């Protein structure tokens, strides 16, 4: 379990930026969704997490059922939903002579309504598990649950009524919300139905994460992370084109730098804008990359001008971490995300992110015609040379990372994306990676995205498509309505948190296939 917690964090808010972000707050669009079926969840080892869903009847039959103490049922809303639950409850039998005690459990996946939350023993807070126990003193009643949930399934446990009455559930509805405008997305009618489906599920994933900010996961974390934002923004440009939401998110980060000018890895927006006390080497750099992508898409020079100093400051701070050989210093107490893998050495992939960022920053600096372009170019040249000299293992023909000279997928992928080697050598490097398969692999869809980008960059579209089908396609086969935070086709119970119950099954950084398909005509 790794968490970053600062004793002393000094934020220097930029109220002008914060105000701009506030003005860009999007409208949430609401859709009323009714459950489709009453279902049962049965143990079956042939299904993901060991749980199979069977339909019992249409959900329209619900109003005919009277439930008593210890009864339970599960509603299937037919697809992933992010929103608010409302329902009416009426009594049957004698006048209710005791409150109704009702437990509701919300699941993105069948496992969440099958395995008791009481057994959860992961290290992330159990408070993320979506459940409510409510007492109803007066029946009949209409209930609008005040919290937002992310779910497809809702389990109703009638914990207690009284021996004298039963309850009937009517008008159970989800008021689904998103700031995405679905009509803005163009149909692609992909000839390959697998790719068509991958595109659709990507778009649904992105839509469900698009709320007042680009959230990382509508079930868990529910906040704006920089690394996720970069990928969501790319997918958004190809689909919903809500570019103001990207702009808003950039201003939110730029609004709460610390006293060194660092932007945090993530921000909270309630009860007000708050910078988390987590700072990540790669995520800070991705601020500049996200600004670059945004500018390429919008040509919004005003925003570029205003946010350039923030972007450049992240690079300055990243450069400060280089050692005398121009290599990112590795140590036990620094933080760079790269991938969800505690065994991964972050030095070389972070060096790759730095170079990747500097190349884009130079283009922005040239566009702006600012003096920083010179120093960026000089430093980039030095850093690339150092990278080749110190991080390339000529014998093994791989980039190595850290004191133990680790060979990881992440190092090779980021070095390919940083385009240090010529295209042909990059191709050979990727071939070698795919054939030799170093053991320090890819843990998250986030890192998987950059593998696909690297494949496309080296003209390996066919391999890219196959990898996408192997990865996101396999999630769909396993029942994904939206793409998951974490997926290992070889270990489908994988969770870095100690329990697959707490994994997010609609996660921003998984939404990029639609970008890859549409941008590169895959």
Which residues contact its own copies by CB under 8 A?
Answer: 1, 3, 5-6, 69, 93-101, 123-128, 132-133, 135, 137-141, 147, 159-164, 221, 223, 268, 270-271, 274-277
CA distances from 222 to 215, 357, 409, 496 (A): 5, 26, 29, 18
Beta carbon nearer to its own copies, 6 or 43: 6
Q: Residue 29, Cβ neighbours under 10 Å: how many?
A: 14
Alpha-carbon Rg for the chain in angstroms: 25
Output the furthest CA–CA distance in the chain (Å, rounded).
83
Q: Which tokens sit at 44?
A: 């079956």
Residue 381 CB, shortest distance to its own copies, in Å, is: 40
Beta carbon nearer to its own copies, 146 or 422: 146
- Whether residue 69 contacts residue 160, with contact meaning beta carbons closer than 8 Å, is answered with yes
Residue 13 CB, shortest distance to its own copies, in Å, is: 14
Q: Which tokens sit at 135?
A: 């007492």
Beta carbon nearer to its own copies, 271 or 422: 271
Using alpha carbons, select from 353, 292, 289 the residue that is nearest to residue 321: 353
Beta carbon nearer to its own copies, 40 or 126: 126
Beta carbon nearer to its own copies, 61 or 133: 133
What CA–CA distance (Å, rounded) separates 339 from 326?
A: 23
Paired with 141 in beta bridges are: 89
Using alpha carbons, select from 519, 515, 503 the residue that is nearest to residue 444: 503
What CA–CA distance (Å, rounded) separates 96 from 484?
A: 43
Residue 157 CB, shortest distance to its own copies, in Å, is: 12
DSSP label at 265?
S
CA distances from 357 to 115, 299, 474 (A): 44, 19, 32
What CA–CA distance (Å, rounded) separates 323 from 382?
A: 12
Q: Which tokens sit at 388?
A: 């080749």
Cβ-based neighbours of 165, under 8 Å, separated by 6 or more: 91, 92, 93, 94, 95, 96, 97, 139
Beta carbon nearer to its own copies, 55 or 144: 144
Beta carbon nearer to its own copies, 270 or 491: 270
What CA–CA distance (Å, rounded) separates 183 from 162?
A: 49
Beta carbon nearer to its own copies, 267 or 475: 267
**461: Cα within 13 Å, side-chain hemisphere:** 8
Beta carbon nearer to its own copies, 275 or 416: 275
Residue 145 CB, shortest distance to its own copies, in Å, is: 11
Residue 420 CB, shortest distance to its own copies, in Å, is: 36
Q: Which tokens sit at 356?
A: 């990747």
Residue 129 CB, shortest distance to its own copies, in Å, is: 9
Among the residues of 369-519, which ranges form H helices? 372-391, 409-417, 423-436, 445-457, 461-468, 474-477, 513-519
Residue 490 CB, shortest distance to its own copies, in Å, is: 29
Residue 270 CB, shortest distance to its own copies, in Å, is: 4
Beta carbon nearer to its own copies, 163 or 489: 163
Beta carbon nearer to its own copies, 1 or 27: 1
Residue 15 CB, shortest distance to its own copies, in Å, is: 19
Virtual CA dihedral for 77, 78, 82, 88, nearest 10 degrees? -20
Q: Residue 170, Cβ neighbours under 10 Å: how many?
A: 12
Residue 413 CB, shortest distance to its own copies, in Å, is: 28
What CA–CA distance (Å, rounded) separates 326 from 358?
A: 14
Residue 136 CB, shortest distance to its own copies, in Å, is: 9
Q: Which tokens sit at 248?
A: 């808003």
């Amino acid at each position: 379990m790794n968490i970053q917690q600062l004793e002393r964090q000094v934020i220097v808010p930029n109220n002008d930026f914060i105000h701009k972000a506030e003005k860009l707050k999007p409208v949430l669009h609401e859709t009323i969704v009714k459950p489709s079926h009453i279902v049962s969840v049965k143990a079956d080892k042939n299904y993901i997490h060991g749980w199979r869903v069977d339909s019992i009847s249409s959900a329209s039959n619900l109003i005919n059922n009277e439930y008593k103490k210890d009864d339970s049922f599960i509603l299937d809303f037919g697809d992933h939903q992010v929103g608010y639950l409302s329902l009416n409850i009426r009594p049957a039998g004698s006048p209710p002579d005791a409150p109704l005690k009702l437990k509701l459990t919300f699941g993105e996946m069948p496992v969440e309504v099958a395995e008791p939350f009481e057994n959860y023993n992961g290290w992330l807070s159990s408070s993320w598990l979506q459940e409510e126990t409510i007492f109803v003193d007066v029946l009949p009643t209409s209930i609008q649950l005040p919290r937002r949930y992310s779910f497809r399934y809702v389990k109703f446990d009638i914990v207690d009524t009284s021996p004298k009455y039963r309850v009937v559930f009517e008008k159970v509805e989800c008021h689904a919300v998103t700031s995405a405008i679905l009509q803005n997305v163009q149909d692609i009618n992909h000839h390959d139905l697998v790719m068509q489906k991958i595109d659709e599920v990507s778009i649904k994933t992105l839509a469900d994460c698009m709320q007042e900010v680009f959230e990382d996961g509508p079930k868990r974390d529910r906040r704006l992370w920089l690394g996720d934002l970069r990928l969501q923004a790319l997918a958004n440009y190809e689909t919903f084109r809500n570019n103001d939401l990207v702009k808003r998110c950039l201003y939110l980060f730029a609004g709460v730098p610390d006293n060194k000018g660092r932007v945090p890895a993530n921000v909270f927006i309630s009860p007000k804008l708050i910078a988390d006390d987590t700072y990540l080497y790669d995520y800070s750099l991705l601020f500049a990359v996200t600004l670059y992508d945004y500018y390429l898409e919008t040509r919004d020079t005003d925003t570029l001008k205003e946010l350039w100093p923030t972007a450049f400051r992240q690079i300055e701070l990243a450069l400060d971490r280089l050692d005398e050989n121009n290599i990112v210093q590795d140590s036990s107490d620094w933080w760079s995300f790269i991938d969800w893998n505690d065994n991964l050495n972050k030095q070389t992939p972070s060096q790759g992110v730095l170079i990747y960022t500097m190349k884009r920053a130079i283009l922005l600096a040239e566009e702006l015609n600012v003096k920083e372009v010179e120093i960026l170019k000089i430093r980039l040249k030095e850093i690339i040379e150092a990278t080749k000299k110190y991080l390339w293992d000529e014998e093994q023909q791989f980039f190595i990372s850290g004191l133990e000279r680790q060979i990881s997928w992440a190092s090779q992928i980021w070095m390919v994306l940083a385009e240090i080697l010529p295209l042909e050598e990059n191709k050979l490097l990727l071939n070698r990676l795919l054939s030799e398969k170093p053991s320090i692999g890819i843990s998250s869809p986030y890192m998987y995205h950059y593998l696909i980008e690297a494949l496309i960059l080296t003209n390996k579209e066919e391999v890219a498509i196959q990898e996408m089908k192997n990865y996101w396609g396999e999630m769909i086969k396993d029942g994904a309505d939206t793409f998951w935070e974490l997926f290992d086709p070889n270990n489908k119970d994988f969770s870095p948190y100690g329990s697959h119950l707490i994994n997010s099954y609609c996660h921003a950084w998984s939404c990029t296939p639609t970008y890859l398909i549409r941008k590169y005509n895959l």
